[in-house]
Amino acid sequence: MKPEDLLRHPLPAQTPKLTLNCPLLDGLLRGGIPCGSITEITAESGVGKTQFSIQLLLAAQLPATRGGLSASSLCLHSEFPFPFRRLQQLSVFYQSHIPNNPLDRIFIQPVNSPDHLLDLLSRLESIVSRLNIRLIVIDSIAALFRSEFDNTPLELKRRSSMFFKIASKLKSQAQKFGLAVVVTNQVVDVIESSGNLRIGNSGFLFSSGRRVCPALGLSWANCVNIRLFLWREEERVDVEGGEIRSMQARRFIRVVFAPHLPDCSCEFVIKREGIFGVDR
């Protein structure tokens, strides 16, 4: 597959989708996370990237009647430690809809470098077939490239080449086996002198009062089909008389670009039972 083959194309009308297990969030995405393509979830630390990932790892096991894929899932994680306690806590709320222990059908593999990830993806075909995997989560792609490459033209070119190799493997496997592929990414602060680069539907992105943009730049942005941006805003909560009681964090999800979705957003909350959209 060539780099130009990774450009975004409209999804087929009957593309299977994986539920986020919330009607409001599924409505935002017109059914959920599509199979056969790469969906990126980008946000600063602590907003909810990993929470979304865990919820999807469990939702993949739900039957098709509930928006699931009736299949196992694979998580390739580079952010340590993996939140096993949260996964176990959330799995309790899926047990009534899944015949067996939900944890038995989630496979977790640490990843240490871009080369390690590429090697794993090269051996993925037999694993996907044998274990009936329909969802692959990589959490996070930015962590793998954080210290692997220097900021020189030659190294940046080599990094872009690695992006396309990884994306090509993911895309071909996703299309061949009907996989939903979800990749989390981090954000970096935007320096005013860096210019006003616009990607997809997005003008400027803000989180926690800072102007930010997804990490890894334009080369990586061209490797994903869908980009979802999570952000938070601090809201002052007052009591009668104007006295400040506390600062409350509100979280939001936005479609930055997607071949089948408009630029739209929704507030969400993180509860013990999982992530849920807020209808305001």
- State pLDDT tens for residues 188-201: 998 765 455 555 54
Q: Is the dihedral of CA 154, 137, 110, 165 positive or negative?
A: negative
Q: Is the pLDDT of residue 108 over 60?
A: yes
pLDDT value of residue 15: 86
Structural contact between residues 268 and 252, judged by C-beta atoms closer than 8 angstroms:
yes
Q: pLDDT for 18-75, tens place per residue?
A: 999 999 999 999 999 999 999 999 999 999 999 999 999 999 999 999 999 999 999 9
- At how many degrees (to 10) do helices 114-122 and 153-177 cross? 30
Closest to 61 in 3D by CA, of 96, 16, 98? 98
Indicate the average pLDDT of the chain.
89
pLDDT value of residue 226: 97
In whole angstroms, what is the distance from residue 85 CA to residue 78 CA? 17
Contacts of 151 (CB under 8 A, 6+ apart): none
Q: Does the model's pTM come out above 0.85?
A: yes
Please report which confidence band the pLDDT of residue 126 belongs to, taking 50, 70 and 90 as the band edges: confident
Please report which confidence band the pLDDT of residue 244 belongs to, taking 50, 70 and 90 as the band edges: low
Domains of the chain: 3-278 (3.40.50.300)
Closest to 165 in 3D by CA, of 207, 217, 117? 117
Task: Give SS3 for 2.
Answer: coil
